[in-house]
Structures are given as C-alpha cells and as structure tokens.
Amino acid sequence: MKRFILLALSIVLLGTLAFAGGQPDDGKLVVGFAQIKEDSPWRTTETNSVQQEAERLGIDLKLSVTEQDGQISAIRDFIAQNVDGILLAPQTRSGWNEVLGEAKDAGIPVVLLDRGVDAPEDLWVTQISSDFAYEGREAGKWVAERLNGKGKVAELYGDPAADPAILRSEGFMEIMAKYPGIEVVESKTGEWSQDKGRQVVEAWLAAGIVVDVIYAHNDGMALGAIDALKAAGLNPGEDVLIISVDAIKAAFEAIDRGDLNATVECSPLLGPLGFEMLTKAINGEPVDKYIINPDALYDESNYKDHPTGGF
Ligand code: AHR
C-alpha cells in the first residue's frame, strides 16, 4: 500500500513539473483564437491564415469558432487554461469590457484581429484590420463617378453592430452627402451572407424597387444580389451596377463574367501580423495600437493585377 501511495505521489509530482502554469512545458507558445462563426469565404480564409501561421511558427493554437456569447466563453476557457496570448476577431463592437478585463487581470495579452471594439484601449494590445471607413469612402467615390452624380442606390450592410458595417456605412454616406442628385433609397442587412443578400434583393424587386447601384458591404452579399437580379431577368453589372468589399476570388470571377463591377479589398490574411504582434506583447515589447492594412479598389481595369488573385 505504501509503495502504491509513493508511486501515485511521484506521478502527480511529475505531472505538476511537466505542466507548470497549465501549459505543456515543451517551449511552445499556446495561443487561443476566438473566431466569429460566419458563413463566408472571407472568414474561412482568415481562419486558415491564422492556422497556417501557427503551424509555421510551431505555436499550439486553440481555435474556437462561435457567435459573440461563445467567443466570451472561449476567452474565459483560454484564461482558465493559462494560454500565453489570445487572438480575438470580435463579432460586434460592444460587450467586451468584462472579459477583456479578466484577460488583463490574468496578464494575458489580447490582439484584436480584423474588427475593433469599444472597450478601453488598455484592455487590448493592438487592432490589426483594414480602414473600414476608407473602404466605404472608396466605394462612395466609385458610385458617384459611375452615376455621374445622379441616380438611386441601395445598400446591403452586414451585422449592424459590427465595426466594419458601421464604418463602411459612415464612409459611404460621407461621400453620398456631397451628391444631392444621388439618393440612397434602401439600406438593409444581408447579415454578411450570400443567401441573405439574395433574399433581401429579391424582396426589393418584389416590392418594385429597382436601383441603379447596389453597394454591398461584402462580396458574399453582392453575389447573392447578383443571383436575385439574374433570377428576375435583369442583367447585373449593366442594368444594375454592383460594388462590394473584400476582393475574394469569387468576386474577381464575377468581375471577369461582367456580373460584378468592383470590389474594395479587405485582406483576411492576418495570421502573420497577428502572431508577430502577439509575440511582441508576450515578450513585453512595444506594439502600435492600430495596424492598418492598405486596401485598393479593383474593377475590370485592374483586377488581374491583384497580388494574390483574390482572397
Ligand atoms: O471584419 C471583416 C468583414 O467581416 C469582412 O468584410 C466580411 O466579409 C466579414 O464578414
């Protein structure tokens, strides 16, 4: 019996030494990634970018893909597991103060990927994203030019509480305000999804609403709009001009077919910068508060020049 107790104690002691601080003591960084559950190719490409970079760097990645409540629980799980750092793609802007405060109290740095939050800046290390207001302004300038300052526009936005939806609208409307001859007659959510985008445009058409331009806040919703217009016997890209955001591969194919007119880039390839900044923070090195990806507008004149051929 004595020998059995001694053996059990040794196993517990060895286990404690090998898993000091909750981490396997193999020198690997352990990082949690709280990703948004969203049915879009853009989101999948972002997740792949993070997973591939983690693999390249030999980082033990704990991936969670959920809606916002699940993201908050996932962060609490990561804290309980005493991870070295956390990457967070926040679904909406609000509701993060408490859990980010818990991560801060636990000494775990959090890097925001692709979207911002309204939580105080001392609760997170850096935000790595596109300039969404700039994307909206670029789309607005393109619309104003194509319409020659006169016409009807409909907007398809994503989740109204999400950072990119808010800022892409603000940027777009800032430009529209300069053109009294352009009327934004509809503005509805397509929830970032192709299917929902299609349904919204179908409803517009059924109600007799036909516009000159549809501005969709992502390519997925624009592809849904294209489906709806075609099903109604209209010619997307000609009868109704369409501009969107993201520059995914399917959008470039749609530009190639003449269905989509333009897309403003928004890079999902955030894994490398995400880990670079998180590692700096873990090592106590300074990191810029905002790291903005440069984005360009692509249409039929230049889409073939995109460095990756679309995301
Ligand atoms: O946060 C980035 C945006 O979120 C992308 O434009 C969109 O496709 C995604 O839903």
Q: Is 3 among the domain residues?
A: no
Number of domains in the chain: 2
Q: Is 259 among the domain residues?
A: yes
268 lines ligand 1 (CB under 6 A): no
Mutation choice for ligand 1 from 43, 169, 295, CB with most ligand atoms inside 8 A: 43
**Whether residue 78 is found in the same domain as residue 41:** yes
Give, in order, the Cα–Cα distances in Å from 191 to each of 40, 157, 198, 270.
Answer: 10, 7, 11, 22
pTM exceeds 0.85: yes
216 lines ligand 1 (CB under 6 A): no
132 lines ligand 1 (CB under 6 A): no
CA 27 / ligand 1 centre spacing (Å): 34
CATH code for the domain of 235: 3.40.50.2300
**Whether residue 151 is found in the same domain as residue 236:** yes
159 lines ligand 1 (CB under 6 A): no
> DSSP labels for 60-76?
EEEEEEE-HHHHHHHHH
- Given its phi and psi angles, is residue 94 left (phi above 0), alpha (psi -120 to 50 degrees) or beta? beta
pLDDT tens over the chain, length 311 residues: 444 444 444 444 344 333 333 455 578 999 999 999 998 999 999 999 999 999 999 999 999 999 999 999 999 999 999 999 999 999 999 999 999 999 999 999 999 999 999 999 999 999 999 999 999 999 999 999 999 999 999 999 999 999 999 999 999 999 999 999 999 999 999 999 999 999 999 999 999 999 999 999 999 999 999 999 999 999 999 999 999 999 999 999 999 999 999 999 999 999 999 999 999 999 999 999 999 999 999 999 999 999 999 99
- Domain with 109, as residue range(s), is 20-129+268-293
Distance CA 280, CA 304 (A): 36
* Nearest residue (CA) to ligand 1, atom 7: 218
Residue with tokens 């109204």: 160
